[in-house]
Amino acid sequence: MGLASLALAPIARAQTRPGWSPTGPLDGREPANPEDLSPEERRHVPVLMLPRAARAGRPFDFVAQVGVDPHGMAPAHHIEWVEVAVGDERVFVADLGPRVAYPIVRLSLVLTETVDVTVRAHCNLHGTWRTRRTVPVR
Ligand SMILES: [Fe+2]
């Protein structure tokens, strides 16, 4: 494998990520009533584990799980990708598949000001789902 094929591999992968664009809108389905989720919503809505407030410039662990009850990862039905955006900037995309046991991602974020964090997740059968939360920064 030459240098050129190494450089092209991530691009080719991104082109096969269904429903994802590096520049498209940060949209997705949200629960009709967050206090009373349907069974489909319980399996698909991203659940964010965030601090009540972050300290400016200090890294913190950020965890997102797809589904209150984690979505299954069977070959015929699974989560294909999870994306994290800070404000309008995409900062993380994970390609998932049936070899990933649970649709859970963890990363360290550093924020400098209060901002909205958006997590989107794409199910191969049920489309793209979204959760957006404001993270206060002190
Ligand atoms: Fe699904």
CA of 10 to the centre of ligand 1 (A): 25
What's residue 59's pLDDT? Answer: 97
Whether residue 54 is contained in a domain is answered as: yes
Ranges of residues in the chain whose predicted pLDDT is under 50: 1
- Closest-CA residue to 28 (of 105, 117, 121, 133): 121
Q: Count up the domains in the chain and report the number.
A: 1
Report the candidate in 32, 128, 16 with the shortest Cα–Cα distance to residue 82. Answer: 128
pTM of the model: 0.88
Domain that holds residue 59: 39-135
Q: Could you tell me if residue 122 is inside a domain?
A: yes
Helix (H/G/I), strand (E/B), else coil: 70: coil
Residue 17 C-alpha to ligand 1 middle, in angstroms?
16
50 Cα–ligand 1 center, Å: 24
Measured in angstroms, how far is the CA atom of residue 79 from the centroid of ligand 1? 7
CA of 56 to the centre of ligand 1 (A): 36
Q: What is the SS3 assignment for 26?
A: coil
Angstrom distance (rounded) from CA 45 to CA 54: 23
CATH number at residue 119: 2.60.40.730
Q: What is the pLDDT of residue 16?
A: 75
Please give the Cα distance from 120 to 137 (Å, whole number): 22
pLDDT of 38 reads 96
Structure tokens at 56: 């400016």
Answer whether residue 90 is part of any domain.
yes
